[in-house]
Structure 1
């Protein structure tokens, strides 16, 4: 069967304006994902005061949001396979932006909870699609770096939103609604529609060879005009076209082991990160800090997030991603534990800064590592299921945090969070496959062909 050789043709492309435009679009989507994901966390202290919301009610809303994330991840894997990576990216971003906008008009905790669950479903769905899209559109030698670069830009949404919240939430009894209005601006991703290409690897895997050839030709023509002649691609590997990846596919040994591994990675990351970020403002306020101070302290700690993603960009393609993840997870556990053992504002900010720095680096590394463990046929399904199960696990996480806080106190929460990170690090160290050798081989082959341009 004839193949258009999408993987190898994309792999031998130099980084060009096409790649940078794609990066900007994905980073824009990430920015408002990170802007919106903690919207409820930074407004919860205010709702406790004006609506009489309890810590347990905050836990239930947060918990149900992760059920929404699970459902969104599963739906996203289906959408990305059925509609295409580009269309799914657009639709999931519009979905979360729309329900974030509806959150502005919430009239009680129940209505806000419903809107937040639906927003969370869209946020998680968008993330799954974006991770897959980047993995398929960039050369293997740099895809980890550009995944991290997208998050470097996108993660700025977290400190920006926290700083906006620290300024607007205290203004009045209604100004917290502006935080959700801000998050809804992700819908403006539609402005990038004509600048994005559908994944040729997805088109080829679906047997839509003429469309894949057309998109590849458009990309190659633009790159040649900017960078000059291209080297010959490596010979294609013959594969049958894929029409659908059934869920039972993941039960095959080839796919089951990476799915289980990544499920543990995302379960521990979800409990560890959201246990910290979703609860820090509320717990600080409950421990005697003012709402204004608690939100402001957390806002300052999130400044470390873009730096962490940039740190990941520096190491992700140079070193084995598995060991980078292990190192980052261990550092997060230590810093998160120290965060929970102090009530000094300076140390709260310092250790919180370090948690955000290394956690966002961990996330960037995980986004690059996850899709590498699957082939094109299983990539969307495997990534979506493992990521979704990770998010679903935190349906129980907030309830555990609330129970620990109520029965054992503030510091027990951070012992629990640190333990989650350490479990993930150990499992990765023992069972995580290495991926650098395959990337290096692809890079070496591309370099050899570069010396003999067509």
Structure 2
């Protein structure tokens, strides 16, 4: 039997950006900051611990690859938990999870314990990311959610240079000071200070049939916004919708859930291999082709200045133009810039094209974070986003092996042809099969 919606989405969509939105931005940006901080800690400390524990380079590779397996498992589990326990509670649990295991890494005693702790930390990092993406999507008005998703990443991405700076100061101080880098990563647990100010997603409550609780949250938010901005415009009328299947893997039988999951898996596989293939291998390949190690690291450092600017660029275009076509354009620019990067050894050109890759890649990621959850209704949003994002991260367990084989067998340029090809594949898949989300939301009322 059809039933009336509590109308959460329509009521939230007509709210102006207010204090509770800004608190949500602050909380998510804080979590993202330590996610970006923690994701690079092993790469920064690996040279030190390898020598200290007498480990082989292959051990570093195993830990790195298994971390991406952890990311896959963490994101899928988090998607299911967010459907069962709620967005707010799962966001809290996943942030606490990666913080606790980062703290545990402070006390690692050999490469095996380090590997276990890093895999568990990585699972939490990926889990937190997908839940945060879904939470923001459901709490912000659809006309502006893309912009604020990008703003969250602009702030969050500063965690990477901040961690690099802290590591450069503390790691050289002594034999054991590398442990302080993981202590820094564990500070994400301070997210708990924001908890009291965050609301559960009314859309999730509504999807679970908890209409009275959704109504309570909505009225509280509306009263707060009215006190801040004055009388609110009327919300669009509730729509009659058919109940959908209960959340869970059984939803993979539904075409409207399976198709976007496959499409987004292609998007995240090509983004992951394309991004990590470039960022992880660029300095190594430059050095292997005769550029000094010092210069290769310096050149790559200069190119990363484009990363936060890319998120700002995404904020400017994401709500003005159809996100699908922004993603297609950004993907093609990354492919071209990455290829040109590999073709030149002129220092200025290396920096320019590397800057372009970083600029548009971070913009692409911000756009994809906004686009992905829009392809699902509330019941499928968390699980669909998490499965596709997790598969993307899992693909990088094989990505480095493919790139190493291409370099050994066919040479330097083949690697950049491969990386460009992954971005072009993602762009074409979106261009041909990707739904236009503005049109999608205008024509299809959301089932609850």
Q: How does the TM-score come out when normalised to structure 2? A: 0.91
Identify the range of structure 1 (365-374 vs 162-171) with the bigger mean alpha-carbon deviation: 162-171
Question: What's the counterpart of residue 62 of structure 2?
Answer: 60
Q: Secondary structure at the match of 1:127?
A: helix
Residues 1:117 and 1:197: Cα distance change in structure 2 (over 3 Å): same
In the TM superposition, residue 402 of structure 1 has moved relative to its aligned partner by 3.4
Q: 1:193 aligns with which of 195, 212, 215?
A: 195
Q: Secondary structure at the match of 1:313?
A: helix
Question: What's the counterpart of residue 10 of structure 2?
Answer: 8
Identify the range of structure 1 (318-327 vs 341-350) with the bigger mean alpha-carbon deviation: 341-350
Whether the aligned pair in 1 keeps the contact of 2:103 and 2:183 (CA below 8 Å) is yes
Whether the aligned pair in 2 keeps the contact of 1:141 and 1:440 (CA below 8 Å) is no
Question: What's the counterpart of residue 148 of structure 1?
Answer: 150
In the TM superposition, residue 317 of structure 1 has moved relative to its aligned partner by 0.7
Q: How does 1:142-291 map to 2 (within 5 A)?
A: 142-239=144-241, 244-280=246-282
Question: What's the counterpart of residue 80 of structure 2?
Answer: 78
Q: Distance in 1 between matches of 2:276 and 2:143?
A: 31
Identify the range of structure 1 (375-384 vs 31-40) with the bigger mean alpha-carbon deviation: 31-40
Q: Distance in 2 between matches of 1:294 and 1:163?
A: 18
Question: What's the counterpart of residue 391 of structure 2?
Answer: 389
Q: Distance in 2 between matches of 1:158 and 1:398?
A: 21
Q: Distance in 1 between matches of 2:283 and 2:187?
A: 24
Q: Distance in 2 between matches of 1:289 and 1:54?
A: 25
Question: What's the counterpart of residue 118 of structure 1?
Answer: 120
Q: Distance in 1 between matches of 2:276 and 2:84?
A: 31
Residues 1:7 and 1:20: Cα distance change in structure 2 (over 3 Å): same
In the TM superposition, residue 344 of structure 1 has moved relative to its aligned partner by 5.7
Residues 1:55 and 1:340: Cα distance change in structure 2 (over 3 Å): farther
RMSD: 2.5
Q: How does the TM-score come out when normalised to structure 1? A: 0.90
Identify the range of structure 1 (190-199 vs 415-424) with the bigger mean alpha-carbon deviation: 415-424
Question: What's the counterpart of residue 449 of structure 1?
Answer: none
Q: 1:23 aligns with which of 22, 25, 37?
A: 25
Q: Distance in 1 between matches of 2:154 and 2:323?
A: 17
Q: Distance in 1 between matches of 2:134 and 2:423?
A: 24
Question: What's the counterpart of residue 140 of structure 2?
Answer: 138
Question: What's the counterpart of residue 323 of structure 2?
Answer: 321
In the TM superposition, residue 293 of structure 1 has moved relative to its aligned partner by 6.4
Q: Secondary structure at the match of 1:77?
A: helix
Please give the per-residue CA displacement for 1:275-323, whole angstroms capped at 9, x wherever unaligned.
2334445656777778776655544432221110010010001111111
Q: Distance in 2 between matches of 1:181 and 1:27?
A: 19
Residues 1:114 and 1:67: Cα distance change in structure 2 (over 3 Å): same
Question: What's the counterpart of residue 447 of structure 1?
Answer: none
Please give the per-residue CA displacement for 1:366-407, whole angstroms capped at 9, x wherever unaligned.
011111111111111111111111111111112223334444
Q: Distance in 1 between matches of 2:111 and 2:350?
A: 30
Q: Secondary structure at the match of 2:240?
A: coil
Identify the range of structure 1 (315-324 vs 29-38) with the bigger mean alpha-carbon deviation: 29-38
Q: Secondary structure at the match of 2:15?
A: coil
Q: Distance in 1 between matches of 2:80 and 2:118?
A: 22
Q: Secondary structure at the match of 1:324?
A: helix
Equivalenced residue count is 442
In the TM superposition, residue 330 of structure 1 has moved relative to its aligned partner by 1.4
